[in-house]
Amino acid sequence: MERFFLELDPPEEVMRSWPHVVIVGGGFAGLKACHALARQPVRVTLIDKRNFNLFQPLLYQVASGLVSEADVASPLRQMVGHAPNIQILLGEVTDIDPDAREVVFNDRRYGYDQLILATGSGSTYFGREEWRPLAPPMKILEHADEIRRRLLMALEEAEQTPDPQRRRFLQTVVVVGAGPAGCELAGSLIELMHRAVRREFKQLRQDDCTVVLVDVVDRVLPTMAEPLGAAAARYLEAAGVELRLGAKVEAIAPGRVRLAGSAGEQELAAATICWTAGVRASRLGRLLAERCSCPVDRGGRLVVEPDFSIPGHPEIRAVGDLCNYAHTEDGRPLPGMAGPAVQMGGWVARDVLARLQGRPMAPFRWVDLGSMAVIGPWYAVADLRGWHVTGLPGWILWALAHLAFIPDTENRIALFSKWMWQIATRQRTALLITGRPDQHIGVDVGLYRAPWNAQGSGEETQVVPAQSEAAA
């Protein structure tokens, strides 16, 4: 079994006796835990299959060309790697042995004293995985790249197409899912198409640009207050987004989406189809449930104790989107958003230190900072603990909140500058067509080992690809 810093010596000899905390996942919760444990008398290993922290709430802006990939991602080594007691390892945890207190990744068994699981969530198609390549989700950078590539390529083809009917097909987008991500994506895409067609394409008509927002629910933003959902719906419709609510997706084929609802069956023709409708917890939750018989909810989230530990294993904590934390005043589980994840990660790290040092720790109390969604330029809706804000004031609050949550100062400055530039000029800075068809779907991430022949041994290191987001 290998421990801290693998076979290498720790930076300071005193670290050999420090407890070892393994954090799996460098998202909002995992990164906050690392910050709280930096330069404390514990050895910390952060394991992630990506070498960066992704600010996922702004992925729709990458998909619509508002910002570039580097504006919403920060290298983990630059974020916390400077702390002498924190080691960062690239790889995917494929198994956990709670009895031996070991995790398995990159064909290694790695021991821990405390384990914090913060592996987040992925996309789900509710058992219809064959839809994934036809309707990309929006969970990782590559997904946003693929949505942008498909839309821009469709517009380029439409510019050269003499058939008016095919041009309308190429200028049509279907977004499945009317939650915050779907509304933000739909509003940003319709604004992009209108601006591009009006100013940069010579053969296209703005009236042919269509974004259809589809969901089985009866209103947009169903998790937010009804007046805010109604305000968002009015704005989207005024911007040119067509709402098809109360309609369930029955089938997706290349360029086609079939719906079923109270109005009967409908078929939509669109060159670009996007999926924001389903979220599931990381499969590490179900794996751990099998290993130690702990309960999970319907979404695969681990049902945790008040201290975020797994029943029967106080040394294992689950935070962020991976956990179902229902120890709240109203008994409702905490939502899967950045705010709760950051608070969970920080509290669990402090609780780990308090227990190791024999100090009492106050119970976790979630501070509800509200929820918000930006629907278009200078327009957002915000629900701040019952205080409803729409329009420009909502946008200002949304911008300030998102800038505050971004962990990297350079990214804050870059994003603010690009937002101001786009609002002033309506020009987007990242409208690049990159990659090949479907290159970004089922992408493999993690550690790739270069083939190597050990001198004189004749043995070659095996190249083991990590699983894709679709299988994570």
Q: Write down the catalytic residue from 102, 184, 191, 469.
A: 184
Angle between helices 338-356 and 28-37 (to 10 degrees): 30
Distance, CA of 27 to chain centre: 9
**Are 430 and 79 in contact, with CB atoms under 8 Å apart?**
no
Q: Is 315 a catalytic residue?
A: no
Q: What is the DSSP string of 305-366?
A: -TTSEETTEEEEEE-GGGEE---STT-PPPPSSHHHHHHHHHHHHHHHHHHHTT---PPP--
Task: Enter the tokens of residue 316.
Answer: 């294992």
**Cross-strand partners of 280:** 122
The Cα–Cα gap between 29 and 342 comes to 5
How many CA atoms lie less than 13 Å away from 248 in the CB half-sphere?
Answer: 6
Helix (H) or strand (E) holding 290: helix 284-292
Q: Tell me which residue has tokens 């041009």.
A: 167
The Cα–Cα gap between 64 and 70 comes to 15
The Cα–Cα gap between 186 and 240 comes to 10
108 CB-near residues (< 8 Å, 6+ apart) = 2, 6
3-state DSSP call for residue 277?
Answer: coil
365 CB-near residues (< 8 Å, 6+ apart) = none
Q: What is the DSSP string of 380-413?
A: EEEEETTEEEEHHHHHHHHHHHHHHH-S-HHHHH
Indicate which residues carry an active-site annotation: 184
